[in-house]
Amino acid sequence: MIFEQIRAQTSDNFTYLIGEEDSREALVVDPTSPVSLLISAVAEHKVRVKYIVSTHGHRDHTSGTAELMSITGGKIAAHINFRQHKDIALKDGDVLRLGLLEVNVLHTPGHSPDGICLLVDKKLLTGDTLFVGECGRTDLSGGDSAELHASLFEKILRLEDDIVIYPGHDYGTRPFSTLGLERRSNYTLAPRTRQEFIEFMSEP
C-alpha cells in the first residue's frame, strides 16, 4: 500500500495520499490549498487519483478540492450530509475500492454532521473527530457533543489497540498515534457517560 501523510504548507492541516501498488489507483483525503506538494507526491508515486475524499465540509479541509479535481479528474466522495458538491454520497459502512485495497467508511458525527473516518489496513484517518491527545470541538455550527460521544466511545474505541490513528491536524506531540496509546493517555477519552461528556465538552 502507498500511504503518505502530507502537512499543509500554510497551516497545520494534514492531507493524505493512499494508493494500491498494482493498480496504481489512489485516493486523496482532505486536500488543502495549495496542492503543489500533493501533486508532486502523486507524480512521484505514479498513481491515478480515483477519489478525493472529504472527512467533513469545513473550509480548511476542502480548500484544495476543486483545484485537485481539475488537475486529476478524481471524483469527490463525501458523506451524504456534506453540503458541497460531491460525485459520490457516502454512508456508514460503505467501502471505496482501489484495486484490491478496501477503504472502509465510518460515519462519525459530532464535530460536524457529515464527519467520517476512513479505516484502511490498520490505519484510521480521523479527520477532526479525534486528534493526538485531543478530540474535535463541538461548539461550531452543526457540532453535537452527544453525537461525538457516540462516535468516540461506540465506534472508534471499539476498534483494536494496534490501529494507528492519523488525524486531520498536527495538534499533538506527534503526527500520529495508536488507538491503544490514546485510550490510555488522551484525557478526552476518559470513561464518561454521555451526559458527563456533554458537560465536559461545555467547560470553558
Mean pLDDT of the chain: 97
**pLDDT over 90 percentage in the chain:** 97
- Tens digit of each residue's pLDDT (9 = 90 or more) over 11-46: 999 999 999 999 999 999 999 999 999 999 999 999
- What's the sign of the alpha-carbon dihedral 136, 27, 176, 125? positive
Q: What is the pLDDT of residue 111?
A: 98
Split at pLDDT 50, 70, 90, the class of 204 is confident
Q: In this structure, what CATH number is given to the domain that contains residue 75?
A: 3.60.15.10
Q: Is 202 exposed, middle or buried (0-12, 13-18, 19+ CB in 10 A)?
A: exposed
CA gap 36, 77 in Å, rounded: 21
Q: What is the pLDDT of residue 179?
A: 98
Q: What is the pLDDT of residue 7?
A: 95
Instruction: Give the mean pLDDT of 69-79.
Output: 97
Which string of b and e fits 136-173 if b means at least 16 CB within 10 Å? bebeeebbbbebbbbbbbeebeebeeebbbbbbbbebe
For residue 87, how many C-alpha atoms fall within 13 Å in the half-sphere facing its CB?
12
Q: What is the pLDDT of residue 128?
A: 98
Split at pLDDT 50, 70, 90, the class of 122 is very high
Q: What is the pLDDT of residue 178?
A: 98
What's the pTM? Answer: 0.95
C-alpha cell at 202: 461545555
Chain position carrying cell 491503544? 180
Q: What is the pLDDT of residue 29?
A: 98
Provide the domain limits for residue 79: 2-201
Number of domains comprising the chain: 1
Of 3, 57, 7, nearest to 28 by C-alpha is: 3
- Tens digit of each residue's pLDDT (9 = 90 or more) over 145-180: 999 999 999 999 999 999 999 999 999 899 999 999
Q: What is the pLDDT of residue 27?
A: 98
Flag whether pLDDT at 71 surpasses 90. yes
Instruction: Please check whether residue 84 is in contact with residue 57, taking contact to mean a CB–CB distance below 8 angstroms.
Output: yes
CA gap 88, 14 in Å, rounded: 22
